[in-house]
Amino acid sequence: MKSFFQITPLEQVFAYATRFERVDTETVPLAEALDRVTAGAVAAPEDLPEFDRSIVDGYAVRASSTFGATESNPGYLTVKGEVLMGRPPEFTVGAGETAYIPTGGMLPKGTDSVVMIEHTEKLDDHAVEIYKSVAPGQNVILTGEDFKKEDVLFTAGIRIRPQEAGLMAAFGIRFVPVYRKPRVGILSTGDEIVSVEETPAFGQLRDINSHTLSGLVAKSGGIPVAFGIVKDDFASLFHQCAEALKNTDAVLLSGGSSVGTRDLTVEVLSRLPDSRILVHGIPISPGKPTILAHVGGKMFWGLPGHVVSAMVVFAAVVRPFLETLAGLSQARPQFGIPARLTRDLASAQGRIDYVRVRLIQKEEGLWADPILGKSGLIHTMVSADGLIRVPMNSEGLEAGTPVDVFPV
């Protein structure tokens, strides 16, 4: 079977994401939930807080007892007692009365607000002067003011941040239903590639792509699973691809930049059961010879062999697919860092160019300085702070043009 190399517009590429099913779910302890993706909405099992609490040190009052109090005309209140931390007060506070309350203390019955200690003066154990009036609810968090029982804490498909973890702790939620982390198989092809453990013979190179792609998979929330280096022959490639697909949720095959290997990959894909090539060629540079296939329900990517191309394709296309697989329903949109281009940049129409840039902070603001160089050179990516996009229908960008820099 000959390779059928036809560019698929990016919108159509991304539309294929819905063809792949999310990974299944599991339950993890709260302490391991950070950065995981929620598998279901969680509702508040109770009010938070469950009692009115003070957020300052001061005197708990009913607000009406303080109305009119000023520096020059202080109010005078009788002290009924002191609130102890973590315990319901055993007394009631009426009109003209008050009780000392520390930050976090529970409001005594009869009170609705707290006068900050800075605005009071203790006269003796039984009397205090108030120099400022308060409104009902002031300096207090009311029962259920943070969350009411049954409120939705969060929906399915969000990545758990430290604050979400804290919120679950607040409700005593010790086990969290999350999506499994997608297992992503990583394979490098090429008869000239040897593993990092080996000393390459003259004419050979060590495997760079497995290591960069593993890092990218890990940083996007997946579990990279190394399937090593495959020789450029049908039997080896078929066997290793089948093996990787069997044991993972998605496979990234990189290498095969030569037409021969690409043809081989297409042939392997066409012979794997229940396989369909969805995309063979995307309108980005570097990264055009990218393959996306649906194989027995699994996701298969054929990525370019040059390391920079493979990284660009991962950042531009693969990552959102893996995030969909991982259960994310509302990936927080990626925003670029605004900068201005240091120099003119030529580009061809009909494709999106991804250019590596260094960020330079000058007095007048931030500048994006293009790092030019072949996509086979890893140093261009090591020197880069990020990527900028030169749009599809542009013949290039002039020096000074505002651009968005996406960190790499």
| Interface positions, 222-281, toward a copy of itself (CB under 8 A) | 232, 257-260
**Cα dihedral sign, 104-106-112-117:** negative
**Residues in region 109-168 near a copy of itself by CB under 8 A:** 117, 141, 145-147, 153-154, 161-168
SS3 category, 324: helix
CB of 396 to a copy of itself, least distance (A): 21
**Residues in region 48-67 near a copy of itself by CB under 8 A:** 48-51, 53, 55, 57
Strand partners, 176: 28
Q: Which of 7, 360, 371, 378 binds a copy of itself (CB under 8 A)?
A: 378
For a copy of itself, which is the closer residue by CB, 133 or 210?
210
Query: Can residue 45 be called a binding residue for a copy of itself (CB under 8 A)?
Result: no
Query: Can residue 171 be called a binding residue for a copy of itself (CB under 8 A)?
Result: yes
Determine if residue 274 is left, alpha or beta; phi over 0 gives left, psi from -120 to 50 gives alpha, anything else beta: left
Convert 80-114 to b/e letters by CB count within 10 Å (16 or more is b): bbebeeeeebeeebeeebbbbbeeebbbbebbbbb
Binding window for a copy of itself (CB under 8 A); candidates: 63-71, 171-179, 276-284, 323-331: 171-179
Interface with a copy of itself (CB under 8 A), residue total: 97
Contact (CB, 8 A) for 312 and 387: yes
For a copy of itself, which is the closer residue by CB, 176 or 295?
176
Binding window for a copy of itself (CB under 8 A); candidates: 71-79, 102-110, 266-274, 275-283: 102-110
Residue 199: what residue type?
T
Query: Can residue 105 be called a binding residue for a copy of itself (CB under 8 A)?
Result: yes
Binding window for a copy of itself (CB under 8 A); candidates: 189-197, 271-279, 340-348, 387-395: 189-197
CB of 296 to a copy of itself, least distance (A): 28
Tell how many helices (H) and how many strands (E) occur in the chain: 8, 28
Distance (Å, whole) CA 170 – CA 46: 10
**Interaxial angle between packed helices 259-271 and 234-247, expressed in degrees from 0 to 180 and rounded to the nearest 10:** 60
For a copy of itself, which is the closer residue by CB, 46 or 129?
46
Q: Which of 197, 274, 363, 398 binds a copy of itself (CB under 8 A)?
A: 197
Strand partners, 354: 389
For a copy of itself, which is the closer residue by CB, 240 or 375?
375
For a copy of itself, which is the closer residue by CB, 216 or 295?
216
CA-based nearest residue to 322, from 224, 177, 212 = 224
Which helix or strand (DSSP H or E) is residue 53 part of? strand 53-54
Distance (Å, whole) CA 65 – CA 113: 10
CB of 403 to a copy of itself, least distance (A): 13
**Residues in region 301-360 near a copy of itself by CB under 8 A:** 305-307, 311, 332-333, 335, 337-338, 359
For a copy of itself, which is the closer residue by CB, 94 or 376?
376
For a copy of itself, which is the closer residue by CB, 66 or 188?
188
**Side-by-side strand order, sheet with 275-280:** 223-230, 183-189, 250-254, 298-303, 291-295, 275-280
How many CB atoms are closer than 10 A to CB 150? 10
How many CB atoms are closer than 10 A to CB 78? 14
CB of 198 to a copy of itself, least distance (A): 8
Q: Which of 9, 96, 200, 396 binds a copy of itself (CB under 8 A)?
A: 200
Q: Which of 15, 43, 85, 135 binds a copy of itself (CB under 8 A)?
A: 85
Distance (Å, whole) CA 267 – CA 271: 6
Query: Can residue 201 be called a binding residue for a copy of itself (CB under 8 A)?
Result: yes
SS3 category, 268: helix
CB of 301 to a copy of itself, least distance (A): 16
For a copy of itself, which is the closer residue by CB, 128 or 216?
216
